[in-house]
Amino acid sequence: MKQKRELPLAEALPGLCLAENVSDGQGRLLVPAGAELNESLLAALARRSIESVIVECEVEEDPAEREARHARIVAEVDARFHLAGDGAETLLLRQIVLDFLKDAT
């Protein structure tokens, strides 16, 4: 499962992906979310006095926790679909939404 983690810039390594935009003190966008960090990007961020970045990282999720998270998502999706009937298109949409939300962090 992917999780967001805030890292001090010194601990951010090339190859990691940004989970959130990096902006400067005035709110100007420096690097967008999704960008992969590399040496020159990290050096540029250091020059701009960026102290930390929020990156994506893979973490092993505890099976019991995952189970509980999935059950919560199913309950929420079921509540939102409880008036939607059982047409084939509706059920397909429900499944797509469910799969997406289970995978998303």
Q: Which of 27, 25, 22, 102 is nearest to 61 (CA)?
A: 102
> Does the footprint of other proteins cover residue 97 (CB under 8 A)?
yes
* Binding range to other proteins, per CB under 8 A, among 7-15, 42-50, 58-66, 96-104: 96-104
Q: Output the smallest distance, CB 29 to other proteins, in A.
A: 3
- Cβ atoms of 19 and 33 within 8 Å: the answer is yes
Does 8 bind other proteins (CB under 8 A)? Our answer is no
Residue among 1, 9, 33, 35 that touches other proteins (CB under 8 A): 33
Residues 6+ apart with CB under 8 A from 34: 17, 18
According to CB under 8 A, which one of 8, 15, 25, 27 is a site residue for other proteins? 27
